[in-house]
């Protein structure tokens, strides 16, 4: 019986991708399938060991710009970021932002993250219910990354709408791509204005720091500057939204683990690692292109092929994890791949971990009786290829 080619970006698939990935791991660990008009044929790699190998193998390039659909000149700057670059360009670009996201620097943000969480939960507590995505999971990381970048407070909400449309455009479907174009145009126009503002009025923020690096001469081009800011805005909170929202859902659906977290608050860090593994907020690593014929899981992936390394599947691989479909907030060891690995390991991982830890621990400490207001099967999942997240999560906070 053929495994087939389900729509990997569809909400229906995102709701429960695990049976399909389990079958891939068992029967076709390097599986060729059709996706969409600009990703007509891809190879999905699903086993932990093979995903690990692909992400660390120089034979697989991150420079996918030549394979993207035609990009209007006005939005082309968005592709000039470190996610779509190989060394030495990737190394040069990443060096500029590494210092902003070290664990030591990020830990200094803990107080600000706690403050934002408390503000959002104070407002929700007065109502007794909330959409956990719109009212908590989104504004917490968005506020922090916007603080870091120096985005004015009045401009921040529009980025949520832009990001949602851009993430949906990664589905590969022509209609989603066309729908995303106005958001792409508006975001680039805004970012150019933000750069002009920070050139005229420098601040103690990351955009100013990147501008100063660019002004040194040959470190950063104008388009690279725009691309880096856009990537940091998108990557700086998109994955964390999903971690907080789907992590909440997982803990609500596993009351014994939620109770354990409340009894043992020292497990907060471990719980976040397990929720990263269990929910995989990023479904796939960044797209790779095979530079040459490469043998993966006994299958030759031909030169020029598009490769999708499934982080969701790798994180549920029974060859790597004991009882992988069980949520265990004290799991040890837990070498998940939720942030990728190797040269392109997520630069924002320390920040996402901190935000997830503070947001989830605070939420359940303040509202231990939190419950869903709809049946789990009625929840709507977001459309998009690379991420896995909820459209909304209506919850009652309890008394």
- The DSSP line for 256-284 is HHHHHHHH-GGGHHHHHHHHHHHH-SBSB
* Cβ atoms 79, 227 nearer than 8 A: yes
What does the pLDDT read at residue 361?
Answer: 97
Res 399 pLDDT > 80: no
**Of residues 221 and 168, more confidently modeled:** 221
The secondary element (H helix, E strand) that includes residue 33 is: strand 30-34
Q: How confident is the model at residue 44 (pLDDT cuts 50, 70, 90)?
A: very high
Confidence class for position 28, pLDDT limits 50, 70, 90: very high
What would the mean pLDDT of 379-393 be, rounded to a whole number? 92
For residue 184, the model assigns a pLDDT of: 73
Asked if residue 171 has pLDDT above 60, the reply is no
Reported confidence tier of residue 59, pLDDT bands at 50, 70, 90: very high
Choice among 25-29, 81-85, 241-245 with the minimum mean pLDDT: 81-85
User: Residue 82: its pLDDT value, please?
Assistant: 67
* Topology of the domain covering 69-280+330-396: Cytochrome p450 (1.10.630)
- Cα–Cα distance for residue pair 197/190, rounded to 1 Å: 10
CB-count burial class (<10 Å; 0-12, 13-18, 19+) for 147:
middle
Contact residues for 2 (Cβ-Cβ < 8 A; gap 6+): none
| Between 36 and 258, residue with greater pLDDT | 258
Residue range 305-362, pLDDT digits in tens: 999 999 999 999 999 999 999 999 999 999 999 999 988 888 889 999 999 999 999 9
Q: Per this entry, what is the length of the chain?
A: 399
Confidence at residue 94, expressed as pLDDT on a 0 to 100 scale: 82
- The whole-chain average pLDDT of the chain stands at 87
- Residue 243 in contact with residue 305, Cβ under 8 Å? no
- What does the alpha-carbon distance between residue 236 and residue 220 come to, in Å, rounded to a whole number? 20
Calculated CA dihedral for residues 75, 77, 78, 83, nearest 10 degrees: 150
> Burial letters for 273-295: b for 16+ Cβ neighbours within 10 Å, e otherwise?
bbbbbbbbbbbbbbbbbbeeebe
Euclidean distance between CA atoms 112 and 107, whole angstroms:
10
User: 123-146 b/e with 16+ CB inside 10 Å = b?
Assistant: ebeeeebbbbbbbbbbbbbbbbbb
- What distances in angstroms separate CA 246 from CA 51, 121, 350, 387, one per listed residue? 23, 18, 19, 12
> What percent of the chain clears pLDDT 70, i.e. is strictly above it?
86
């Amino acid at each position: 019986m053929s495994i087939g080619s389900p729509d990997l970006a569809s909400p229906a698939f995102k709701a429960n991708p695990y049976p399909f990935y389990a079958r891939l791991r068992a029967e076709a660990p390097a599986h060729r399938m059709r996706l969409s008009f600009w990703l007509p044929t891809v190879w999905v790699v699903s086993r932990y060991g093979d995903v690990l190998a692909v992400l660390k193998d120089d034979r697989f390039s991150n420079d996918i710009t030549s394979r993207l659909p035609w990009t209007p000149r006005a939005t082309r700057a968005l592709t000039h970021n470190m996610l779509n670059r190989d060394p030495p360009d990737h190394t040069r670009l990443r060096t500029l932002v590494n210092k902003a996201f070290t664990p030591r620097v990020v830990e200094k943000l803990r107080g600000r993250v706690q403050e934002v969480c408390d503000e959002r939960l104070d407002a929700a507590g007065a109502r007794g219910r909330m959409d956990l995505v719109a009212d908590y999971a989104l504004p917490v990381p968005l506020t922090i990354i916007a603080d870091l970048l120096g985005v004015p407070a009045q401009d921040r909400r529009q980025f949520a709408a832009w990001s949602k449309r851009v993430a949906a455009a990664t589905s590969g479907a022509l209609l989603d791509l066309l729908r995303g174009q106005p958001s792409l145009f508006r975001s680039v126009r805004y970012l150019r204005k933000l750069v002009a503002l920070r050139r005229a009025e420098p601040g103690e923020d990351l955009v100013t720091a990147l501008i100063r690096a660019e002004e040194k001469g040959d470190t950063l081009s104008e388009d690279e500057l725009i691309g880096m800011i856009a990537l940091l805005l998108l990557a700086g909170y998109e994955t964390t939204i999903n971690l907080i929202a789907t992590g909440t859902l997982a803990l609500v659906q596993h009351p014994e683990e939620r109770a354990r977290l409340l009894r043992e608050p020292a497990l907060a860090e471990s719980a976040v690692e397990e929720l990263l593994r269990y929910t995989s907020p990023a479904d796939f690593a960044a797209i790779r292109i095979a530079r040459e014929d490469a043998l993966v899981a006994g299958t030759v992936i031909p030169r020029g092929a598009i490769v999708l390394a499934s982080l969701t599947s790798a994180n549920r691989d029974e060859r790597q994890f004991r009882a992988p479909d069980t949520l265990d907030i004290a799991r040890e060891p837990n070498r998940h791949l939720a942030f990728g690995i190797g040269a392109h390991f997520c630069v924002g991982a320390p920040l996402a971990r901190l935000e997830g830890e503070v947001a989830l621990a605070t939420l359940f400490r303040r509202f231990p009786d939190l419950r869903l207001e709809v049946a789990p099967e009625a929840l709507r999942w977001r459309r998009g290829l690379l991420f896995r997240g909820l459209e909304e999560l209506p919850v009652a906070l309890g008394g």
